[in-house]
Amino acid sequence: MMVSNNVIHYLLQWVFGEPTLNGLMSLTSAHWGECRSTLRALLASEGPERRLRENAVLRQAALVGRADVRMHLPADIGDYTDFYSSLDHATNIGTMFRYGYPTNTVYR
């Protein structure tokens, strides 16, 4: 797999240059797949795109040591979050609160 330098540049500059992952989440599933493929290729131990493995300067700039990692909320949440965003979740919650009528017809 050959990874486009334009894709890498775009992802690094716009999506991963932000303090949160909101930009990444706003993209489509095709973009997420390309991002995942690019990251996997860059981290691979074999293949033409194994840049991090072979480039110590790039590896040091791109990776953070486990002891230096700070866990935080990766997204800015606005004033509303729809926790019933999927049919599966709505069905699970509906089963708990409306026995016999697990999913409201608005979700179908």
Within this chain, do residues 28 and 61 fall inside the same structural domain, yes or no? yes
Name the catalytic one among 9, 31, 72, 89.
89
SS3 content of the chain, % helix, strand, coil (to 5): 55, 0, 45
Count of structural domains within the chain: 2
Which DSSP category does 5 fall into?
H
Q: Look at residue 1 in the predicted model and tell me its pLDDT.
A: 45
Tell me the per-residue pLDDT of 61-82, one tens digit each, with 9 for 90 and over: 888 889 998 888 888 888 766 6
Residues 54 and 4 in one domain: yes
Is residue 89 annotated as part of the catalytic site, yes or no? Answer: yes
Q: Structure pTM?
A: 0.55
Question: 17 and 62 in contact (C-beta within 8 Å)?
Answer: no
Domain identity same for 61 and 30: yes
pLDDT mean over 9-14: 68
Does residue 10 sit in the same domain as residue 56? Answer: yes
Could you read off the pLDDT of 42-57 as tens digits, one per residue? 787 777 666 777 788 8
Show the domain range for 35.
Answer: 1-70
Task: Indicate whether 16 and 46 sit together in one domain.
Answer: yes
Domain match, 49 and 88 both = no
